Structure 1
Amino acid sequence: MKLHAYVLAGDPAWIEHSIGAYYDHVERIVVSFDRSKRSWSGDPLSVDESLARIARADPDLKVRLLPGDHVQTGRSVIATETMQRQAALDAASDGADWVVQLDTDEIVPSFPTILRHLDAARGRAASALEYPARMIYARTKSGAFLEHCGRFWTSQSGYPGPVVVAAGTTLTVARQAGSSPLHRVDLSAWNTDPAQRHGVHVHATVPLSEAIIHMSWVRSEQQMAEKSLTSGYASTRDWGADLEMWRRRAKHPLRTAAIAPFAGDPFSRFRIARLPEFAEAIP
């Protein structure tokens, strides 16, 4: 079974940790970026720093750079993202059986566990593997983290898209694989993703310690300020209010966690969590 991967260069904060988690298990990593070094919304992006960090994480020279012209006026951000990902996936599919598609702020604690579930997916003739991610929001002054959770501090998963897909897969929206037969892994026998209906079928489970750690908002002040400008979806949020809320929640983690049972929005519920040692190296 030949395994390749693709990543999008532009978000340098956690690149070494993300790629390092699966580097020894893949034969090639395709790195996609826009030639103009801009985000999907047309803003400047940290491509040079991303490429430099990727080079340092590539001792065996597995990386293949794939520059392209992805930013176009008159096209939606989500359509631009999907087209860039598809181009990267197509390139990574060459000579591969399966392709890993993880963002550079997503870190796998146990990639052999991913491979074990990929074998199960193959056994079911599935062409995409969905795997749960812990959505980490902020680091507190104590060194603990705020993590998205269920109403009573139960585990909550996120699924931006399958983490491994069969070579040649056609993407529909961002990382989603459309009608491809899925093998779905969760933290519970019942769906824990608030964005999905409760009855979504779960084929297998993993313990919380083996879930992907998505460090999306675990950044320094400077990096969060940059994210508010360069995110492909920057124009869809009130980043001033978002950043102020992010600071307030991180400053008052006990109060933030205490109100989880009363939060109507499932994405505004948090619990205090500890993460593996690598997370101590906050950029």
Structure 2
Amino acid sequence: MASGTLYTYPENFRAFKALIAAQYAGGNVKIAPGFVFGETNKSETFLKKFPLGKVPAFESSDGKCITESNAIAYFVANAQLRGADELEKAQILQWLSFADSEILPASCTWVFPTLGIMQFNKQATERAKEDVKASLQVLNTHLLTKTYLVGERITLADVCVCCTLLHLYQYVLDPSFRKPYQNVNRWFTTIVNQPQVKSVIGNFKLCEKMAEFDPKKFAEVQAATKGGAPKESGKKEKKEKKPQPEKKEKEPEPAEELDPAEAALAAEPKSKDPFDELPKGTFN
């Protein structure tokens, strides 16, 4: 069984994949103490091991370094989670790709503005909602006669797809929106209530009211992540913000392909917990 250290900020759904896989495998995976996003992962020591400076990142107890959440989850998983045969292994990879390419972009576009960490765009959000519906319909049809996505037992497909859906089910998939997807709802609640999953994410509470974009919250979160006051401070604020060539120095971030949440977190004041400014989650 794998053992080692996982570098991540709190409540990172990508890191949950590996932590849950380790629970099933009986591995000893510890979260790096004192990790500060935007500081620890930019340090020389960290970059020597993980040149892109991205998290989650994993270092095994014998010094092997792995990046990318799906790869880390695969490494710390056991044989059951990885699939019983070559076909199952391929099907698991199929669902991992589906989660990353079909579910995740739409989830970020829809959910992140409601958390105040991304600007709202009505057209993009409506398109994202349709993309989410399409993905849920694919899952719903597949799960009509199945308990799990691949085979007869939980695999990495269930773990990783479930983790990718967490923000949707937590913030925006209210009862009326999720009602047509009963098979997915049944499967999702089955997975989040597994002891190995609950030990990582805590008791999960399904969304009761769809979160919406709040301009005031957006201004507050953006000001907090940039170390300033909300925009109403007037002309002084604007004058101080005009010398923003400095922002361009900080913009290696897109080159690293950080998602908008991580980009916002990178700008957090270093002494704070990265999620202090975001709405409190229901994972406990």
By the TM > 0.5 criterion, same fold? no
Higher strand share: 1
Under a length normalisation based on structure 2, what TM-score does the superposition of the two structures give?
A: 0.31
The structure that has the greater radius of gyration is 2
